[in-house]
Amino acid sequence: MNHIPKLLISLGLILVVAGVLWQIGGKYLSLGKLPGDFLFQKGNSTFYFPLMTSIIVSIVLSLIFYLVGRFR
């Protein structure tokens, strides 16, 4: 039972860091507007599929979790 509080604190810190990076990085990195992100507009409807952004976020999170697991 001792590992659950540590896990929750770690997840909270990761979310805070991700939020700060997202807020600051949004000015410099155009996540969501990359080549490979699809935007379809027809009339009043809009469909947005951020394929490339999803791939980049997946790679970054995989590397982070790999490093956390490696040093655990």
Structural domain count of the chain = 2
- pLDDT value at residue 59: 94
How would you classify residue 54: left for phi > 0, otherwise alpha for psi between -120 and 50, otherwise beta? alpha
Same domain, 3 and 13: yes
Residue numbers of the domain that contains 44: 31-72
Same domain, 25 and 35: no
Same domain, 57 and 44: yes
Helix, strand, or coil here: 41?
A: strand
pTM: 0.60
Over the stretch 11-51, which tens digit does the pLDDT of each residue have?
899 899 888 877 887 677 677 788 889 999 999 999 999 99
Same domain, 20 and 39: no
Same domain, 13 and 25: yes
- pLDDT value at residue 22: 76
What are the φ and ψ backbone dihedral angles of 33, each rounded to 5 degrees? -130, 30
